[in-house]
Structure 1
């Protein structure tokens, strides 16, 4: 898979990534599980696993919208490629020795539908987990008009339009 293909930024057939930065939600149990799983895999292209929204993420990826990286998996290539959502997962699999053939299957039209369904299922899990953490904190969160919500268990979480395309539920 070439950089820029499948939802990335850049010309199809552009330079191949030699190193990738995967920005993941460090507060999400599914994301941290997958991060740990990825760290154990043999990588054909090195993956740097960096918490989204962290100082390290801002330092290493200065030109991207860091608010959106908290709500959608984002993969950044060393040649400026940016992949989000299903394309990010396909390219992540492409970087792994054992899963590169699977990434090629996911890059077909039928495979892309399956990859999208998997990303949507993960997003639903993440939203459910956020809602449960919010209820456990006892509610009473502080809300800002720009979409950021603070609760005493999880700290700041972004629920604005970029996080959920206007379709997510912010718990009361």
Structure 2
């Protein structure tokens, strides 16, 4: 029997406007599982997860469970939704064969948007651990 997840750490690109917007959105949601939102490849991320390939966390969303589970890309988005009270049923559906194509298309669209709005220099700017976070919207 699996041990339930009690806490998740979301590694997000602090130089990506979409990623920061989604970070603020996650913080406004009622959570069933606590979320720690940490800039990807930052000093804090490297301290918490020294064994992780931190360069890859700048390329795709990565979520780490409190028992060492690592979720990337589509699975990471689904587990983030699963942690939220209002979106848990949607996360369960997105994890099914019927919902998986919708989850994948959403992740691909986000990646295309991110690629168009974030250059390589911006992605590398967080590597020294001094990520500047924009103020929350509104």
* TM superposition shift of 1:130: 2.2
Structure 1: tracts of 5 or more residues without a match: 1-12, 132-148, 158-172
Q: Is the counterpart of residue 126 in structure 1 residue 94 in structure 2?
A: no
Measured on the aligned residues, the alpha-carbon RMSD in Å equals 1.5
| Structure with bigger RCO (C-alpha 8 Å, 6+ apart) | 2
Structure 1 residue aligned with 2:5: 17
Structure 2: tracts of 5 or more residues without a match: 126-138
* TM superposition shift of 1:64: 1.0
* TM superposition shift of 1:14: 2.7
Structure 2 residue aligned with 1:72: 60
TM-score (norm 1): 0.69
TM superposition outliers: structure 1 runs of 4+ over 2 Å = 154-157
Structure 2 residue aligned with 1:140: none
Structure of higher CA gyration radius: 1
Number of equivalences: 125
Q: Is the counterpart of residue 92 in structure 1 residue 80 in structure 2?
A: yes
TM-score (norm 2): 0.85
| 1:41-80 residue CA offsets vs partner (Å, 9 max, x unmatched) | 1110000000001001111112211010000000000001
Which of 48, 55, 61 is matched with 2:36 structurally?
48
